[in-house]
Chain A
């Protein structure tokens, strides 16, 4: 049973969560609890609050990732101790356990570690003694060969969900229940579609695709582990008796259906016009651009490749870094030939200077790129649905009828995504939900 930040944020919510654990025990189960840090952004023990403690010392000095992991893990440690103590006050023996004590071993990538293995002996021992283990989510240990002790690591995004499914798989648990503050997986963001229904059942792939395309639900990493080990999974509300959403394998839930409409955060679309680049040099130019984006750790969406242009969208928070990278970028693709990248819709002092300085020495060609800020991606997600004739046309027509301009599209087996202006997002979500989801009984 995994409880997220909102389920453990206050004494009242923790009591609700504890009653769920006690109820499970009274039904004859042997619950193992995984907890997130207490509260959400801005609250005293939330992860970002802990990180701010370092930023407050000097925002210009980046903290060491190893130390940051030690600090960030405190939120879950605190939460597990408080939760275990609460269970004790209710007459149930419980044992708070750090990730390492629960046997979670990871690789050595601080801040974004992957679980390599789980040795559940400690958990079994606690269960045998009649304790309810309360495991810190989001953390594990990296065991370095020959060194005493182990390095604490954090698991990155979706860490506590991943902890819960990994522990469940190692224990061969009957199910994993991810408790949150909504009734389960909704067919759309309730902020945009307040009456969006809760899905009673979905496949692992659908939930992973929804999460990938922006839905704030179970993280794809957790879905992947549950799928690999066949762990039955539920998403439930700590604060209601709604049965929640069951997540099962594709084989257990076949059929053609619309799952929902999701949307990403804010994106910036970038498009290079390659017409000025000589034939035979375009591949090299394109490869260099992507190589540099990879080195910068940029996340890309809506990648578009063609002989005449390349385009992609980047998260808005990464755009300043990307703009810095491209501004006046010099790419010596051939010996006698240099390309300088220049933003088309904005004066670039750096690019102009580069071109001026090198013009006497070598053939310099400016490669323009355009930037469209204020974009976002809205996606229709379905199971064996996208393969039906007419779905693409229907999505485009729905958006057009609602005067939502579509700048680019991308599709896969499970989804169809459109890049649209951010200002039109709500309209697009509502229109697609009305057209595709509302007509389907869930």
Chain B
């Protein structure tokens, strides 16, 4: 709703002057709104560590919960959890790398914690309503030949977990294929 200028008499709300907004609108021309269709930005966030836990015993969910419980008790926050047959992986802050290694060594399973991981983020507003866009982005990531450990998604972005060097290369490749390529 548009509110009249406070200086106008309240019993004359519809005679007030909107010419300032009209003039402003003329000066600006049209206002640009929705971001262009498709991918509009690709960036990378470093400073992560990835933990892989394997050899989990049946019942598998109970074993996973035991591991997660130990991680929680150590006060480590995790993201990008992925379940596979008999194993699981997740990501934590690189600063928690040593704590995480220590905690997982005490768990009845095999574990590996690798520092130097990152998340490559592909931003695309209204991604799910653009038919086939998510598949196209994932296809481009695979076609780049770079190894990706995990995929996450939000309403306006896809997130790919990988190691630092791969992440830096992937960002450049995706910028070329998804942004510069689309603009041509």
Interface, chain A (partner B; CB < 8 A): 1, 24-25, 28-32, 103, 105, 107, 109, 112, 114-121, 124-125, 127-128, 130, 156-158, 162, 166, 169-177, 208-209, 211-213, 220-221, 224-225, 229, 283, 286-287, 289-291, 293-301, 303-308, 386-390, 392-393, 396-397, 400, 406, 408-415
Contact = CB atoms under 8 A, between A and B. Distances in A.
A25 B13 contact: yes
B72 A389 contact: yes
A409 B82 contact: yes
Contacts, number: 227
Given A29-B2, A212-B154, A389-B71, A300 B30 contact: no
A221 B2 contact: no
Contacts of B30: 103, 105, 116-119, 170
Interface string B130-164: 11111110110011010111111111111100000
Contacts of B143: 283, 287, 291
B47 interface: no
B44 interface: no
A127 B152 CA distance: 46
A390 B142 contact: no
B165 interface: no
A211 B37 CA distance: 19
B: interface residue count bin:
35 or more
A30 B79 contact: no
B78 A392 contact: yes
Main secondary structure of the interface of A (DSSP, over half): mixed
Contact of A305 (B64, B130, B148): B148
B125 interface: yes
Contacts of B148: 305
Contacts of B149: 306
Which residue among A224, A229, A301 has the maximum number of chain B CB atoms within 10 Å of its CB?
A224
Which residue among A293, A397, A412 has the maximum number of chain B CB atoms within 10 Å of its CB?
A412
Contacts of B68: 390, 392-393, 396
B76 to A, nearest CB: 6
Which residue among A1, A128, A300, A408 has the maximum number of chain B CB atoms within 10 Å of its CB?
A300
